[in-house]
Structure 1
Amino acid sequence: MRTPHVERGATPVNVAGTGGHARRSTVTTHERIDVLLSLPGRSPEVTIDDTDVSERKHPHDEEKGAAKLQQEQSFEESSEETTYVEFEEGDPSNPANFSYARKWAITLAVSFFSLIAASSSAAYALGFPSMTRDLNATQFEATLGLSMWALALALVPLWSTSFSEEFGRQPVYIVSGVGSVLMHLMVALAQNIQTVIIGRFLGGAFGSTAAAMVGGTIADIWAPSERGLPMSVFAIMIMAGPGLGCVASGWIEQNPHLHWRWIQWIHVIFYGIFLVTFPLVMRETRPGVLLKRTAKKLRKKTGNMHYRARVEDQIPSLATLMYISCTRAIYLLLTEPVVAAFSVWAGFAWGILFVLVESIGPAFRSVHNFSTGEVGSVFASMIAGCIVGEFIQIYQEKLYAKYYPTKGPEARLFSACLAAVLFPAGMFIYAWCTFPSVPWIGMAMGIFVIMTSLFNIYVAVFTYLADCYGVFASSALAGQSLSRNLMGAIFPLFSEQMFSKLTYHWGNTLFACIATLMIPIPFALYWKGPAIRARSKFASQVIHK
């Protein structure tokens, strides 16, 4: 990560034992740093009136007056200068300069958190048979718990990510981990379905950190040219997690001594492992927070209140950050054609993912008479689809490097165009294999193709929007995340009723036809993307070199 910008005229000040580098800026503290996000103005400068000095006749008095004036001017200049604390070149406390081993330890730790959260989101559904029996609940009430998790993923990150700007990433991860443990305990010990539904929503709220903040953590410590592999690890964890959790949960549910409560207890154990190991490998990675802490120590140590981090002058209050985070994401979702188009497409795909999680069990049990454990094993096709999707992404990165100079951000869309075709193809395969006369592997192959496409859609949406919107990428991604997870919350609520009316054959065929209608979306963006971005108030401000 590059060193923060230093204003013209800034002079270095050696600060021992701070882990940072202070620079004295020629900008006085009463001047506004940012037009939109400025601090309240300080008191105006005191103007020294030198009329009396110039009127003095005695040469000694004149000399003393001039010396006094120079001293006052020097004191005033010194007292009103802001000294910004910055990282020295090669400073080991700078997250960008962490050792290679430390970077990978952090990457694997936060990705492990994502894996547990993703697993928990879907594994819950495999426990429906014993849960509905033990709690005297309906299938729809149990499905509400699945939807509540997705709803929390949609709503909570809109404002919760602002906490990392104020307090840093490390404490947010720890609070999220503790909260996740408590909410899984709440579900595991629940005596009624209402407690389960509330626990699932709160569990999704705490688990949303795994989806919303890991990408930023990786960006904190890895240079852009190095992020490919770490981001791929994160993407595999977040996408393969549901399949992995369901594979294990199917056999847990089938065991008469375990059932649905032990699905929750297993996740409690893994969250506990995360909480024990995380502080050992994790370090704060938010540069602005580290510099703010250093500036605070310097102010306390020296008594000089003009030691500051730039984020203290350039970043608004936490309440303002939360307001901007919520409103700008929704504004971009509703007004930006690129964000809206990708959000609808990715949202529909995410809705299908949650439909599969909810319906694969009943479908395989009714069509092929699978046991619950065998149903769980079918979800291994999801994991295989994500792995193949990653190999496609490796080739996509080569195409991006080759065509970016001429195509710009649209060079990210080759894999998305392939995924647009594979997605309905997988849905048709799955739909037209839902007959007892067709071997079960046909339905599994359909799931495999669907997950391969979903993996590439997920990665393409993130990388393309990040390239298009630059400094506004977080808001653009938050907007599509809102749409994507809302679809994930809504689709399972009507899929059971739809399949009971249309059967799995025609219900999935309907989904496949809708996916077919969405094929043109990435192709249209590849063809007309530059023209659309040129008319965008936000994307047009991003310069692509």
Structure 2
Amino acid sequence: MFATSREADFEQVKFDEGDPRDPNNFSYARKWAITLTCCIFAGITSAASSSYSISYESMMQDLDCTNLQVTLGLSLYVIGYGVIPLISSSFSEECGRRPVYIASSVFFLLAEVMNALAPNIKTVIVSRALQGVFASAGVSMLAGTIADIWQPHERGVPMAMFSFTAVFSIGLGSVFGGLIASNPHLGWRWVQWIHVMFAGIFSLCVIFVLSETRSSVVLTRIAKDVRKTTGDARYRSSSEIDKPSMLSMIKVTCTRPLYLLLTEPIVQSFSLWVGLTWGVLFCLLESVTTEFQSVYNFNVSETGLVFLTQRKALLLHTVGAILGLMANMYQETLYRKHFATKGQEARLYIACAAAIVMPVSMFIFAWTASPHIHWIFPLIGLTAFMSSVFVVYQVSFLYLADCYGTYASSALAGLSLARNMMALIFPLFSQQMFAGMTYKWGLTLWASLSAVMGPIPWILFFFGPKIRSHSKVSRKILETELQQLDGDQTVVSSPIEEKSMKV
């Protein structure tokens, strides 16, 4: 069930055509089972961030702590998403996806238990930082997992499901967090215990559902079995030939994202735009609770329902996520229609529209939150904003993956670093800013900055190819692809994940 080719003194082991062990040849049922299992983890970790913020009041009363202290728990949760993938990706490429998924899900579960049992705010802060670390180790691999098993033209829908789950779960976590935290017999600890239950179920799903999807790791295991069976040490997988050391892999993985972030205009511009968007999103998580309580006299339970419904209101995160999902599905149609003429920029049609909707929706939220205006109007603004966030979240993954090919995981790691650093910093000063500027003018400031960032996708849409033509990295990617075509080389891994760690 495998083929070999001679390379120097080695017999290189490759997948035979149609080999069922090749992740690209998994059945659609198996591919979707893996994809949905991974999306569940994205949902659990997203809900953990919003449900925590909605239970501030209960936590401050129980642990006798300040608002700044509990806000640290929210900010430190997201720092892992920016830093840990720089290291964990090396281990997933060396040891495989499945072991990292298992380890991250189990340790995330234990960190949740630590949070639920925390006797003081210091323990809460530490546990939240650990949750972010272990959550990021698993969630950061999801794009790579999708790329492992789906062909480039098939990735749009799985990536849309990933984005939908992540954004939808923010609202879902707020609803259940608000309902539970407002119950005097439950409180914030039961918010964490509910997460423990879901995290425990997910850990079992990882063990029984997830298969190894990293082709190079599967081939390495096959080569080891062949060497053991035949006693011939010449059999090697491609990743075992001239294999770099783990220390070298980690060094390159940690430095290359920073290099791309500091030198590549496309990565820089998207990181700035997405980073601002993500920072504003976490500011809204901070402001929605207190704003709707002070302006409309909502209690904690009703404020949680601002993210889905306040009895008869429209669904905020749900409607926003659904609208964003529909927009991205339409974007896939546009991509397939215009790829031949626009290339990678065919990914940006809906992003250009989102760049207009986002500041407009923020202005609506900022200027309609008033006791004299029905709460449905700021809710509409928030819904439109969440739809835009959904679009930007998915487009950033797909566009950078298309542009940077074998270096895409490094580009995405740089983007993730910038995005989550913004999410770390913004909540730390948002309450002070809103107190000094009021919600109206504070949100107006963010809306204005979002309007300034709006031209970014439009510039890339019209001038992206010209910008890439001046990039050393883009030229090197093009040269590598041409060499592979000339040499008729078989590429086992997908464009999103790097087959070789050498620059």
TM surpasses 0.5: yes
Aligned residues: 473
Equivalent position of 2:43 in the other structure = 115
Which stretch of the first structure deviates more once superposed, 494-503 or 277-286? 277-286
Which runs of 5 or more structure 1 residues have no equivalent in the other structure?
Answer: 1-19, 29-80
Q: Give 1:471's aligned amino acid.
A: T
CA contact (8 A) 1:184 1:203 kept: yes
- Unaligned runs of 5+ residues in structure 2 are 309-315, 483-503
Cα distance in 2, alignment partners of residues 462 and 104 from structure 1: 19
Structure showing greater relative contact order (alpha-carbon pairs closer than 8 Å, 6 or more residues apart): 2
Match of residue 235 from structure 1? 163
Q: Amino acid of the residue matched to residue 390 of structure 2?
A: F
Q: Within 5 Å, give how 1:62-461 maps onto structure 2.
A: 81-380=9-308, 381-461=316-396
Post-superposition Cα deviations, 1:309-356, rounded to whole Å, max 9, x if no partner, equal 111115422221111111000010011111001100000000011111
Matched residue of 1:304: which SS?
coil
- Helix, strand or coil: the match of 1:23? strand
Contact 2:100 2:138 in 1 (8 A): no
Structure 1 position 22, deviation (Å): 4.2
Comparing 144-153 and 82-91, the one that deviates more: 82-91
Moved more, 197-206 or 521-530: 521-530
Cα distance change of structure 1 residues 166 and 375 upon mapping to structure 2, 3 Å threshold: same
- Give the Cα separation in 2 of the matches to 1:240 and 1:146: 18
Contact 1:342 1:461 in 2 (8 A): yes
The residue type equivalent to 2:64 in the other structure is N
Q: What SS does the corresponding residue of 2:119 show, helix, strand or coil?
A: coil
For 1:539 and 1:425, the matched residues in 2 are separated by: 34
Single out whichever of 328-337 and 464-473 deviates more from structure 2. 464-473
> What residue identity is the alignment partner of 2:414?
G
Do the aligned partners of 1:343 and 1:484 also contact (CA within 8 Å) in 2? yes
* Distance across 2 between alignment mates of 1:414 and 1:383: 23
Distance 1:332 1:232 in 2: 25
Q: Of the candidates 502, 524, 532, which is equivalent to residue 459 of structure 2?
A: 524
Give the letter for the 2:177 counterpart.
S
Q: Secondary structure at the match of 1:499?
A: helix
What letter is aligned with 2:345?
Answer: E
Instruction: Give me the whole-angstrom Cα distance separating, in 2, the residues matched to 1:541 and 1:455.
Output: 32
Does 2:2 align with 1:21?
Answer: yes
- Distance in structure 1 (CA, Å) of the matches to 2:210 and 2:404: 30
Q: Distance in 2 between matches of 1:495 and 1:528?
A: 35
Matching residue within 404, 423, 441 for 1:469 = 404
Is residue 506 of structure 1 aligned with residue 434 of structure 2? Answer: no
Which residue identity is paired with 1:285?
T
| CA distance in structure 2 between the aligned counterparts of 1:252 and 1:533, rounded to whole angstroms | 50
Deviations 1:491-522 (A, max 9, x none): 00000000001111111011111111111111
> Tell me, what secondary structure is at the counterpart of 1:85?
strand
2:227 and 2:351 map into 1 onto residues whose CA distance is 51
Check the 8 A contact 2:159/2:394 in 1, yes or no.
no
Equivalents in 2 of 1:115, 1:363: separation in Å? 26
In the aligned structure 2, how far is the partner of 1:538 from the partner of 1:172?
29
- C-alpha spacing 1:152/1:405, structure 2 compared with 1 (3 Å): same
SS of residue in 1 equivalent to 2:223: helix
Q: How big is the shift at 1:391?
A: 0.8
> AA paired with 2:167?
M
**Aligned counterparts of 1:482 and 1:314: Cα–Cα separation in 2:** 30
Say whether the 8 Å CA contact 2:171–2:317 is kept in structure 1: yes
Matched AA of 1:112: I
Q: In 1, Cα distance between the equivalents of 2:26 and 2:338?
A: 32
Q: Which amino acid aligns with 1:90?
A: G
1:22–1:83: 8 Å Cα contact kept in structure 2?
Answer: no
TM-score, normalised via structure 1 length: 0.85
The separation in 2 between residues aligned to 1:410 and 1:222, in whole angstroms, is: 21
Which secondary structure does the structure 2 equivalent of 1:191 belong to?
Answer: coil
CA distance in 2 between partners of 1:389 and 1:404 (Å): 21
- In the TM superposition, what whole-angstrom CA distance separates every residue of 1:370-400 from its partner, at most 9, and x where no partner exists? 0111111111202211110111111111111
Residue 486 in 1 paired to residue 421 in 2?
A: yes
What amino acid sits opposite 1:134 in the alignment? D
Question: Is the Cα contact below 8 Å between 2:41 and 2:139 reproduced in 1?
Answer: no
The CA RMSD over aligned residues, in Å, is 1.4
Q: How far off is 1:93 after superposition?
A: 1.2
Question: In the alignment, is the contact (CA less than 8 A) between 1:117 and 1:210 conserved in 2?
Answer: no
Q: Which moved more, 1:240-249 or 1:312-321?
A: 312-321
1:22 and 1:512 map into 2 onto residues whose CA distance is 57
Amino acid at match of 2:214: R
Q: For residues 377 and 400 of structure 1, what CA distance do their matches in structure 2 show?
A: 36
Higher Cα radius of gyration: 1
Structure 2 counterpart SS, 1:438: coil
Are the aligned partners of 1:342 and 1:480 in contact in 2 as well (CA < 8 Å)? yes
2:428 aligned partner, one-letter code: L
